[in-house]
């Protein structure tokens, strides 16, 4: 049995495709662009609302053009792919403009794609109608421990999955736009876990979610600490505790910060950690697994870290899809199911009941965010 399980995302043959970057915040400058440069990709232009931020990012990452107008990026003759990293309430309007540009063939958008499932539908349809290839930056799928777990499942080493869990005890840094939108955990952190469950195990039938406010977060919100259970038709269950309070670690107590995951199958078990909570300290994620064939724990290890290394995955997937004439794995239609699952969590928490995912998927016209 090979303990390697290492599956870095494939990179395109042609790495000279021009990438136009819209947004110069932390995710773009410290994650996207670091990962792109480390893998030989080619950002050629960047914009920010303030020229100084765009120029600083361009200087740091050796990008030829910096501007305070994203229209300059999307009309740049060398830009074939738009990489959008802006708050979700701005993303749809930018995509409306990007799809008008003939030379742009592919678009990478952030998660969440939009403010809710209905708006995300519109974004996906805009790209379809314009013939643009759309990929969504669901980068936790590209963390090496999650990809390794997927390989274990694909090879049948764990047998039929019975139960999976994620336990997050971490204190994120909320962005100013989150205060404006009144969002905390479900659309920002839980969306990673929900999408990873979908990646590993497919689509659930329903979800039950319960939320409470985070005592530390001062702006009005509902989805601070979030707990949810995904129910699958075959009896499999997945559950997560997304705890952004994590105890009074900022108020004087010692801290106990981590993200741990676990998968139990009929033939084996896997457990892992996600190294992100210790950022900027580079902390690789881990995976251990054992099977009924061998009464030992295998503990393969890798050097990559989620932030920033996994961020090359969605862009590389988009470039490979363009090169090969196919849809990306994390395409718009697929990610609509993650968006629907997030909205189902909000509805479940609001109405204190289990929500079938089809309740959201079949709601074609409702544009009211939960």
CA distances from 258 to 188, 222, 232, 247, 305 (A): 17, 23, 27, 12, 14
Domain coordinates in residue numbering, the chain: 18-139+312-331, 141-307
Poorest-confidence range of 118-127, 132-141, 230-239, 361-370? 361-370
CA distances from 247 to 185, 214, 224, 256, 260 (A): 16, 10, 13, 8, 17
pTM: 0.95
Per-residue pLDDT, 286: 96
CA distances from 99 to 62, 78, 83, 112 (A): 27, 16, 13, 19
Query: Domain 141-307: which topology?
Result: Dihydrodipicolinate Reductase; domain 2 (3.30.360)
CA distance 126 to 183: 26
pLDDT tens across 34-88, in order?
999 999 999 999 999 999 999 999 999 999 999 999 999 999 999 999 999 999 9
pLDDT tens across 145-202, in order?
999 999 999 999 999 999 999 999 999 989 899 999 999 999 999 999 999 999 999 9
Measured from the Cβ of residue 91, the count of other Cβ atoms closer than 10 Å reads 24
**Are the C-beta atoms of residues 343 and 117 closer than 8 Å to each other?**
yes
Indicate the SS3 state at residue 308. Answer: helix
Element (H, E) at 337: helix 332-351
Q: Which residue from 265, 20, 33 is spatially nearest to 162, judged by alpha carbons?
A: 265
Q: Mean pLDDT over residues 243-259, rounded?
A: 96
Phi, psi of 322 (to 5 degrees): -65, -40
CA distance 72 to 74: 6
Indicate the SS3 state at residue 126. Answer: helix
DSSP string, 178-239: HHHHT--SIIIIIHHHHHHHHHHH---SEEEEEEE--TT--S--S-SEEEEEEE-TTS-EEE
**Are the C-beta atoms of residues 216 and 142 closer than 8 Å to each other?**
no
pLDDT tens across 10-47, in order?
999 999 999 999 999 999 999 999 999 999 999 999 99
CATH number belonging to the domain at 18-139+312-331, selected among 2.40.10.410, 3.30.750.24, 1.20.1260.10, 3.40.50.720: 3.40.50.720
């Amino acid at each position: 049995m090979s303990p390697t399980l290492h599956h870095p995302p494939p990179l395109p043959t042609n790495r000279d495709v021009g990438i136009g970057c819209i947004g110069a915040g932390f995710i773009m400058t410290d994650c996207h662009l670091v990962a792109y440069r480390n893998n030989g990709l080619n950002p050629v232009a960047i914009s920010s609302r303030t020229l100084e931020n765009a120029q600083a990012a361009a200087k740091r990452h050796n990008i030829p053009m910096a501007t305070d107008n994203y229209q300059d990026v999307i009309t740049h003759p060398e830009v074939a792919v738009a990489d959008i990293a802006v708050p979700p309430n701005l993303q749809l309007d930018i995509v409306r403009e990007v799809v008008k540009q003939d030379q742009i063939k592919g678009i990478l958008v952030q998660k969440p794609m939009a403010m809710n499932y209905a708006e995300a539908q519109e974004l996906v349809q805009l790209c379809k109608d314009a013939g643009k290839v759309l990929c969504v930056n669901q980068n936790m799928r590209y963390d090496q421990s999650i990809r390794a777990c997927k390989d274990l499942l694909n090879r049948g080493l764990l047998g039929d999955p019975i139960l999976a869990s994620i336990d997050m005890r971490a204190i994120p840094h909320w962005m100013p736009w989150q205060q404006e939108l009144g969002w905390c955990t479900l659309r920002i952190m839980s969306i990673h876990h929900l999408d990873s469950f979908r990646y590993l195990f497919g689509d659930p039938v329903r979800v039950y979610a319960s939320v409470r406010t985070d005592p530390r977060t001062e702006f009005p919100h509902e989805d601070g600490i979030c707990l949810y259970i995904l129910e699958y038709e075959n009896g499999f269950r997945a559950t997560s505790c997304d705890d952004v309070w994590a105890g009074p670690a900022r108020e004087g107590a010692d801290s106990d910060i981590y993200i741990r995951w676990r998968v139990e199958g009929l033939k084996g078990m896997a457990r892992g950690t996600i190294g992100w909570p210790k950022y900027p300290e580079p902390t690789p994620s881990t995976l251990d697994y054992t099977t009924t064939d061998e009464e030992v724990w295998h503990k393969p290890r890798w050097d990559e870290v989620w932030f920033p290394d996994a961020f090359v995955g969605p862009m590389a997937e988009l470039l490979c899809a363009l090169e090969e004439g196919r849809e990306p794995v994390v395409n718009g239609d697929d990610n609509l199911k993650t968006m629907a699952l997030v909205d189902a969590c909000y509805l479940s928490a609001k109405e204190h009941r289990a929500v079938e995912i089809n309740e959201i998927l079949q709601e074609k016209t409702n544009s009211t965010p939960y």
